Structure 1
């Protein structure tokens, strides 16, 4: 005899993937993938920064290159038309040499060369004076600079007080004249390097000659460049003599 067994029906519900229990048998949950792959982007949802026009980019790059080349050509043209760097800084080597050469003649100084006053030449002579003093073992950079400033102000005040209302000397011109006329003292400082320390008579005699040279050149330039100083030439010469005597004392002692 055959025995019949009752088999429960299998139900596959179309829901959220969970099968409810049927009878005494519980349906297992269908396995799910650990991740779901992203769907490929369609043409409507493409990445925005990748959508560009190659033709427009090429044309824009060509325009940019053309702009740079034209600006480079114009920049080179303007660079050639610019003044030299020394002229922009107000340093004229030819003018400095012409003024310095006019001081080298102790008997005849050319005042026309010093009408355009500048400070580049006096600064060069100041540095030369400091260098020769440094070679002699004397560090006097601050002392010499301070004496030049005080001497320029002193001569400016003295000249304008003597000239009165007729005086038209400015401080810039006075500083330029005092700085250029220090050239004989610079030469004295260079020559003193080769003179023994024991021969004091020779050093004093040389200092007197160079001081008179510098004072004469400074007096002639001051009287020629400014009005109202001709009648007070002796007093101006005395002030110039005191100025360059003080500088010569730095060389001797």
Structure 2
């Protein structure tokens, strides 16, 4: 049985102009953001107005809201009028140096210098103390920080209990005074690097620096706060215990 082939009549396609009409409908590809080609412009990408674009960018302040070329911003922040970074952080090197010099003379205490309490100077002294202990082969940064916190709270409680209602010593001032009065102990930790490890000389030098720190700390506490004049001996005893404790770190 043979197969029967069916033939379909397809009408012929006749183009009006004799070519493919899709070629006439398609335009010539152009680069993005470019104006249409004109016969009068020889350079197509320079056909826009440069002056108007520069004026628009200057008036808008650039892409990031600032001037192009490093010009000054009208009404903006002026970096010359800002405070130094150390002052913004509360670190005053001149004030730290004055307070440190006032500790060097145990017979002439200057309480006026320590009225503005700060913690930047004490932290610097603690770092030096830990560094000298590290040179002696003792890693005691955490011990020093913990003991200074406990010592400040201890002296604060003792002073206010003795002064009663007249006591106006706050913890911030107490911590600042104890920290600056640690200078003799820091000097002792540096001197102890050149002293023999055992002997009476080491204990004798430690006693001198402890008495030095105790006298200064007691005088500052009594001068800066009210109500401590009558109990100077008990306050001195508390200060003596604190600085003896730190000197034992250096000795042993």
TM-score bracket, normalised by the shorter chain, equals 0.7 to 0.9
Name the SS for the 2:78 alignment partner: helix
C-alpha change, 1:47 and 1:107, in structure 2 (3 Å) is: closer
C-alpha change, 1:173 and 1:40, in structure 2 (3 Å) is: same
Which residue is 1:37 aligned to? Answer: 23
Which residue is 2:112 aligned to? Answer: 112
C-alpha change, 1:36 and 1:212, in structure 2 (3 Å) is: same
Distance 2:24 2:231 in 1: 104
Which residue is 1:133 aligned to? Answer: 133
Distance 1:150 1:83 in 2: 35
> Unpaired segments of 5 or more residues in structure 2?
1-8, 37-46, 62-66
C-alpha change, 1:40 and 1:93, in structure 2 (3 Å) is: same
Which residue is 1:212 aligned to? Answer: 211
1:83 aligns with 2:64: no
* Coordinate RMSD, CA, aligned: 3.0
Which residue is 1:18 aligned to? Answer: 11
TM-score, normalisation: structure 2: 0.80
> Unpaired segments of 5 or more residues in structure 1?
1-15, 20-28
1:125 deviates by: 0.1
Distance 1:111 1:105 in 2: 12
C-alpha change, 1:221 and 1:38, in structure 2 (3 Å) is: farther
Task: Trace 1:190-205 onto structure 2 (pairs within 5 A).
Answer: 190-198=190-198, 200-205=199-204
C-alpha change, 1:184 and 1:34, in structure 2 (3 Å) is: same
1:69 deviates by: 5.4
Distance 2:175 2:93 in 1: 18
**CA distances 1:133-189 after superposition (whole Å, capped 9, x unpaired):** 000000000000000000000001111111111111110000000000000000000
Distance 1:33 1:41 in 2: 16
TM-score, normalisation: structure 1: 0.79
Name the SS for the 1:168 alignment partner: coil
Name the SS for the 1:72 alignment partner: coil
Distance 1:205 1:85 in 2: 44
Distance 2:164 2:58 in 1: 68
Distance 1:251 1:50 in 2: 79
Contact 1:17 1:30 in 2 (8 A): no
C-alpha change, 1:223 and 1:63, in structure 2 (3 Å) is: same
Which residue is 1:64 aligned to? Answer: 57
Task: Trace 1:163-182 onto structure 2 (pairs within 5 A).
Answer: 163-182=163-182
C-alpha change, 1:163 and 1:70, in structure 2 (3 Å) is: farther
Distance 1:61 1:183 in 2: 63
1:145 aligns with 2:138: no
Distance 2:26 2:78 in 1: 57
1:226 aligns with 2:212: no
**CA distances 1:27-82 after superposition (whole Å, capped 9, x unpaired):** xx78998993252559xxx9995459934x74243242354159831489711111
Name the SS for the 1:37 alignment partner: helix
Name the SS for the 2:242 alignment partner: helix
C-alpha change, 1:35 and 1:157, in structure 2 (3 Å) is: farther
